[in-house]
């Protein structure tokens, strides 16, 4: 077979970069950026090339594995799916429906088959035991959208290509490539912002890669962003700079938020935030007076004690300065498949606090419990104790707070099944591992990230390689399980068994074709005419541009009174906890631990690629020189880092980039555990940040894990430095 070039979208992060993959038969010769991609125009990052490593990785599982004592045996798909269905039902029959829990990890969102058919499996299981990475990530954004706009998926996107002022809090888009902000080639876009005279301000306890290219960097004390945001609002109101403009008639609660903000002038929050009152004041003026401006907060402000309040206040700041729903502010998309409208149709705009978790009484969000409660729900006896566990595209042992506790809880389960291509820190505890095919052996469509993009575009990627005959895609695994559970359970309604069969016949591609036709740009069900169809997308391998973001309000609002709720009661009530924060001072000699991401890493996986991990100690602790010398520590020392829940060892890097009193460790490492099959990752195991984060610390409002600002002690360890190949 001759060489040819295949075009597809990278499925690893949120940026949706177009790839040009040159192949010779079954062999991948090269992976480059697709210069003709209507959105990414050739941009890629180093991870794209590692898709080859993932595809060819001999450690990537090709067939189901069944546990035999401490060993594994390969079994066939029918036997594996039968076994999983039987064991899950057995647990439900003996202990009730909710004794089975499901955790959905991050890659689910990058896999439209898994999104669609994950829902089918959840329906078949009929369990309330649902968990996902949402509660260690973007839950506060969704909460603010639900309470203020009436729909958890109405997420405003920062219009970074047209803004003249970008205020970034707790995000490092130069490294993460953007999150809830799909914009391939962020660095180029931020350079363009500065070139057209715009300003970039970054608020982060570390001088990150993004902060280093900013006009201003404010090294805030971790966990105090809510105070900082209130002070910005105070100045805006006090100086008469609150000008919502055309949004004014759409607002409710403006007086209440103003009254609340008035309590927090910059002078009052300066000490707690570690910032000067004057710099907060200057920033507030500059932001409010800019021709257009956008405040954008991500993981660093979501996963903290006051994360819910933070995302709310960021929305409020954009709204009162007139920067919601206008070019250069934050805007809503009009994607080809409109998940927001779909949520309306199936009655799922989201909900919050409809129940409390069994053990700790944490609030439900969107039908899920906080991941921080997973271990205790497994350990604590009583009705609805979790006794069986399905983990789908997740690695909660490394990615949820106090993962070590979860790791101790997993072996106590009656049954566990992981749907995952690797035998890793989590799946090694399963009784059965069901590996999907490689991402290059399935088609791809970004159901979620087109919704979060700075421009309306659409692109569909067919599979590059035919899946092996004994390979299964995620959706086939999920559907196979759901169907077996449905038939074995009996008492199935005729309608539900027909639905399961029908969606099985359609497949994700068939569903996508329907969703595209019935979406905002679609042709409808007419055989001819204008408008988008899947066929049209297949004829456009570089994607189709659907134009810039355009104003959508008030039409898009889903609140009962069709207004934006600026002062939702539960958020106003939570200001009580913000006030308390004013008087909490430093916790003795403890340092404050925060996380970080690295360009060549992807949460807890992609670490089995030698290309991405070669020659470096992935897991260094960054510390300010003053803190190091106070402890008699030097660059390169091995150190013990200890928190309430655990201890890890890391190599110290002394760095002026850190705020004094704050240390930083990346998350997603800790591949030293026995029993995994990750031979490359095990060479550079690093330590797990989540062996230090504390599952007891959550945002009391919404249950989001506190992953930032963990009190730790650091001292020199006896251990040798790791030897790197
Ligand atoms: N301390 C700290 N902890 C954090 C964070 C932090 O900033 N600090 N960040 C949090 C965030 S934002 C997130 S999103 C979570 C992520 O945490 P998780 O979602 O729990 O885990 P990942 O590390 O993304 O692991 C993904 C798993 O999916 C598997 N996988 C990859 N592709 C596929 C696929 O196509 N199908 C299937 N079935 N499996 C696949 C991989 O092998 C891997 O086991 O971590 C969170 N944890
Ligand atoms: N290369 C790479 N890209 C990724 C990922 C990856 O693992 N690697 N993961 C993907 C995922 S799942 C996600 S969710 C996104 C996340 O995307 P981002 O949110 O952009 O990612 P982070 O680098 O974790 O940025 C969080 C920042 O918050 C800062 N921070 C910590 N505590 C505080 C605080 O209290 N206040 C303030 N203001 N800042 C604080 C940290 O120093 C850090 O710089 O990235 C995605 N992209
Ligand atoms: S930025 Fe994200 S989408 Fe683009 S190539 Fe890198 S991993 Fe893939
Ligand atoms: Mo995430």
Domain segments of the chain as ranges? 3-56, 76-130+377-542, 139-335+554-575, 587-716
Please tell me the distance between residue 602's alpha carbon and the centre of ligand 1 in angstroms. Answer: 8
Mean pLDDT of 192-207: 98
Please tell me the distance between residue 133's alpha carbon and the centre of ligand 4 in angstroms. Answer: 7
Q: Is the CB of 44 under 6 A from ligand 3?
A: yes
SS (H, E, C) 35-79: CCCCCCCCCCCHHHHHHHHHHHCCCCCCCCEEEECCEEEECCHHH
Burial class (CB in 10 A: 0-12, 13-18, 19+), 278: exposed
Q: Is the pLDDT of residue 546 over 70?
A: yes
The closest ligand to the CA of 178 turns out to be 2
List, in order, residues 6 or more apart from 656 with CB less than 8 Å away. 207, 624, 625
Mean pLDDT of 661-688: 97
SS (H, E, C) 291-321: CCCEEEECHHHHCCCCHHHHHHHHHHHHHHC
Mean pLDDT of 482-494: 87
Pairing of strands 415-419, 388-392: parallel
Domain 76-130+377-542 has CATH 3.40.50.740: yes
Report whether 155 contacts 451 (CB < 8 A): yes
> 3-56: what fold?
Phosphorylase Kinase; domain 1 (3.30.200)
The per-residue pLDDT for 656 is: 98
Sequence-ordered alpha helix ranges (H) in 223-276: 225-238, 254-262, 266-273
Report whether 677 contacts 59 (CB < 8 A): yes
Output 351 or 724, whichever has higher pLDDT: 351
The per-residue pLDDT for 721 is: 67
Q: What percent of the chain has pLDDT over 70?
A: 98
The closest ligand to the CA of 118 turns out to be 1
- Taking CA atoms only, the protein residue closest to ligand 2 atom 37 is 170
Q: Is the pLDDT of residue 583 over 90?
A: no
Total residues found in the chain within this entry: 725
The predicted-structure confidence for 618-635, as pLDDT tens digits, reads as follows: 899 999 999 999 999 999
Ligand 3, residue 45: give the atom nearest the CA. 6
Pocket probe for ligand 2: among 179, 309, 396, 605, the residue whose CB has the most ligand atoms within 8 Å is 179
Q: Is the peptide bond before 116 cis (omega within 30 degrees of 0)?
A: no
495: left (phi over 0), alpha (psi -120 to 50) or beta: alpha
State the architecture of 587-716 in CATH terms: Beta Barrel (2.40)
The per-residue pLDDT for 347 is: 85
Cα–Cα dist 313/75, whole Å: 52
Please tell me the distance between residue 95's alpha carbon and the centre of ligand 2 in angstroms. Answer: 39
Ligand 3, residue 46: give the atom nearest the CA. 6
Pairing of strands 199-203, 216-218: parallel
Q: What percent of the chain has pLDDT over 90?
A: 94
Q: Is the pLDDT of residue 96 over 90?
A: yes
The closest ligand to the CA of 434 turns out to be 1
Ligand 2 site residues (CB inside 6 A) read 13, 106, 137, 169-173, 175-177, 179, 203-206, 208, 220, 222-223, 225, 298-301, 304, 594-599, 601-603, 708-709
The closest ligand to the CA of 31 turns out to be 3
Confidence of residue 493 (pLDDT cuts 50, 70, 90): confident
Pocket probe for ligand 3: among 11, 12, 49, 106, the residue whose CB has the most ligand atoms within 8 Å is 12
Report whether 608 contacts 676 (CB < 8 A): no
Maximum distance among all alpha carbons in the chain?
75
Mean pLDDT of 475-492: 92
The per-residue pLDDT for 346 is: 86
- Taking CA atoms only, the protein residue closest to ligand 2 atom 39 is 170
Confidence of residue 722 (pLDDT cuts 50, 70, 90): low
Please tell me the distance between residue 16's alpha carbon and the centre of ligand 3 in angstroms. Answer: 6
Mean pLDDT of 695-706: 98
Please tell me the distance between residue 57's alpha carbon and the centre of ligand 2 in angstroms. Answer: 28
The per-residue pLDDT for 445 is: 98
Pocket probe for ligand 1: among 64, 103, 132, 133, the residue whose CB has the most ligand atoms within 8 Å is 133
Q: Is the CB of 203 under 6 A from ligand 3?
A: no
Please tell me the distance between residue 666's alpha carbon and the centre of ligand 1 in angstroms. Answer: 14
Confidence of residue 588 (pLDDT cuts 50, 70, 90): low
The per-residue pLDDT for 713 is: 97
Ligand 2, residue 173: give the atom nearest the CA. 20
The per-residue pLDDT for 134 is: 98
Q: Is the CB of 142 under 6 A from ligand 3?
A: no
Mean pLDDT of 444-468: 98
Please tell me the distance between residue 702's alpha carbon and the centre of ligand 2 in angstroms. Answer: 20
Q: Is the pLDDT of residue 586 over 60?
A: no
- Taking CA atoms only, the protein residue closest to ligand 1 atom 32 is 107
Pocket probe for ligand 3: among 20, 48, 186, 453, the residue whose CB has the most ligand atoms within 8 Å is 48
The per-residue pLDDT for 723 is: 63
Cα–Cα dist 343/531, whole Å: 22
Structure tokens at 156: 């405003």
Place of tokens 């005279």: 197
Confidence of residue 214 (pLDDT cuts 50, 70, 90): very high
How far is C-alpha 407 from the geometric centre of its chain's CA atoms? 22
SS (H, E, C) 499-564: HHHHHHHHHHHHHHHHHHHHCCCECCCCCCCCCECHHHHHCCCCCEEEEECCCCCCCCCCCCCCCE
Please tell me the distance between residue 619's alpha carbon and the centre of ligand 4 in angstroms. Answer: 19
Q: Is the pLDDT of residue 671 over 60?
A: yes
The per-residue pLDDT for 2 is: 80
Q: Is the pLDDT of residue 260 over 60?
A: yes
Q: Is the CB of 45 under 6 A from ligand 3?
A: yes
Structure tokens at 499: 């639905």
Please tell me the distance between residue 172's alpha carbon and the centre of ligand 2 in angstroms. Answer: 6
Place of tokens 């007419």: 526
Confidence of residue 1 (pLDDT cuts 50, 70, 90): low
Q: Is the pLDDT of residue 587 over 60?
A: no
Pocket probe for ligand 1: among 110, 135, 407, 603, the residue whose CB has the most ligand atoms within 8 Å is 603
Structure tokens at 53: 């490593």
List, in order, residues 6 or more apart from 456 with CB less than 8 Å away. 333, 334, 335, 336, 450, 545, 546, 547, 548, 549
Please tell me the distance between residue 178's alpha carbon and the centre of ligand 2 in angstroms. Answer: 9
User: Which CATH code is given to the segment(s) 139-335+554-575?
Assistant: 3.40.228.10
| The model's pTM | 0.98
H or E element at residue 398: helix 396-399
Q: Is the CB of 50 under 6 A from ligand 3?
A: no
The predicted-structure confidence for 50-69, as pLDDT tens digits, reads as follows: 999 999 999 999 999 999 99
Ligand 1, residue 418: give the atom nearest the CA. 38
The closest ligand to the CA of 676 turns out to be 1
* 471 backbone dihedrals φ, ψ, rounded to 5°: -100, 150
């Amino acid at each position: 077979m001759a060489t040819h070039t295949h075009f597809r979208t990278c499925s690893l992060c949120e940026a949706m970069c177009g790839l040009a993959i040159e192949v010779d038969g079954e062999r991948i010769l090269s992976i480059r950026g697709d210069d003709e991609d209507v959105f990414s125009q050739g941009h890629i990052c180093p991870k794209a090339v590692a898709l080859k490593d993932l595809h060819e990785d001999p450690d990537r599982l090709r067939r189901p594995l069944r546990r035999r004592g401490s060993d594994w045996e390969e079994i066939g798909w029918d036997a594996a799916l039968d076994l999983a269905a039987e064991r899950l039902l057995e647990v439900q029959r003996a202990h009730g429906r909710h004794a089975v829990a499901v955790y959905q990890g991050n890659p689910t969102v990058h896999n439209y088959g898994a999104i669609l058919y994950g829902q089918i499996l959840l329906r078949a299981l009929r369990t309330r035991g649902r968990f996902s990475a949402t509660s260690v990530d973007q839950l506060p954004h969704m909460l603010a959208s639900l309470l203020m706009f009436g729909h958890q998926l109405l997420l405003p996107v920062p219009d970074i290509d047209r803004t003249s002022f970008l205020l970034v809090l707790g995000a490092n888009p130069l490294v993460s490539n953007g999150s809830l902000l799909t914009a391939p080639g962020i660095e180029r876009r931020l350079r363009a912002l500065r070139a057209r005279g715009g300003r970039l301000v970054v608020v982060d306890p570390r001088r990150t890669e993004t902060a280093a290219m900013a006009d201003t960097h404010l090294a805030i004390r971790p966990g105090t962003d809510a105070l900082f945001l209130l002070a910005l609002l105070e100045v805006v109101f006090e100086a008469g700079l609150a000008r919502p403009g055309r949004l004014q008639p759409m607002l409710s609660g403006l007086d209440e938020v103003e009254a609340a903000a008035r309590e927090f002038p910059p002078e009052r929050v300066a000490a707690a935030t570690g910032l000067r009152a004057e710099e907060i004041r200057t920033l507030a003026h500059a932001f409010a007076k800019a021709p257009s401006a956008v405040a954008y907060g991500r993981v660093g402000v979501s996963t903290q004690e006051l994360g819910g309040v933070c995302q709310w206040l960021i929305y409020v700041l954009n709204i009162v300065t007139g920067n919601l729903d206008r070019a250069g502010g934050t805007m809503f998309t009009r994607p080809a498949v409109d998940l927001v409208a779909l949520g309306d149709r199936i009655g799922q705009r989201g909900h919050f606090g409809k129940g409390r978790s069994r053990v700790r009484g944490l609030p439900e969000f969107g039908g899920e419990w906080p991941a921080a409660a997973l271990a205790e729900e497994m350990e604590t006896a009583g009705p609805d104790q979790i006794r069986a566990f399905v983990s789908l595209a997740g690695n909660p042992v490394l990615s949820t707070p106090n993962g070590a506790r979860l790791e101790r809880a997993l072996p106590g389960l009656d049954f566990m099944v992981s749907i995952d291509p690797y035998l890793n820190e989590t799946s090694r505890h399963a009784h059965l591992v069901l590996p999907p095919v490689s991402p290059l052996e399935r088609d791809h469509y970004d159901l979620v990230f087109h919704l979060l993009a700075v421009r309306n575009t659409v692109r569909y990627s067919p599979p590059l390689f035919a899946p092996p005959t004994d390979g299964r895609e995620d959706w086939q695994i999920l559907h196979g399980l759901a169907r077996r559970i449905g038939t074995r359970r009996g008492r199935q309604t005729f309608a539900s068994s027909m639905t399961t069969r029908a969606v099985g016949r359609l497949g994700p591609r068939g569903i996508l074709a329907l969703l595209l036709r019935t979406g905002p740009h679609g042709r409808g069900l007419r055989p001819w005419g204008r408008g988008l169809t899947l066929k049209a997308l297949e004829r456009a391998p570089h994607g189709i541009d659907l134009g810039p973001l355009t104003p959508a309000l008030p039409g898009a609002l889903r609140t009962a009174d069709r207004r934006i709720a600026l002062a939702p009661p539960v958020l106003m009530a939570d200001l009580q906890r913000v006030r308390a924060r004013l008087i909490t001072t430093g916790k003795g000699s403890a340092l404050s631990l925060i996380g970080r991401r690295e360009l060549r890493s992807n949460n807890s996986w992609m670490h089995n690629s030698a290309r991405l991990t070669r020659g470096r100690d992935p897991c260094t602790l960054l510390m300010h020189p003053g803190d190091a010398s106070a402890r008699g520590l030097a660059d390169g020392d091995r150190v013990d880092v200890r928190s309430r829940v655990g201890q890890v060892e890391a190599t110290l890097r002394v760095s002026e980039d850190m705020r004094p009193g704050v240390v930083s460790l990346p998350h997603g490492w800790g591949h030293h555990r026995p029993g995994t099959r990750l031979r490359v990752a095990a060479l550079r195991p690093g330590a797990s940040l989540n062996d230090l984060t504390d599952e007891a610390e959550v945002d009391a409002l919404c249950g989001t894990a506190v992953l930032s600002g963990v009190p730790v002690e650091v001292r020199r360890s006896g251990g040798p430095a790791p030897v790197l190949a």
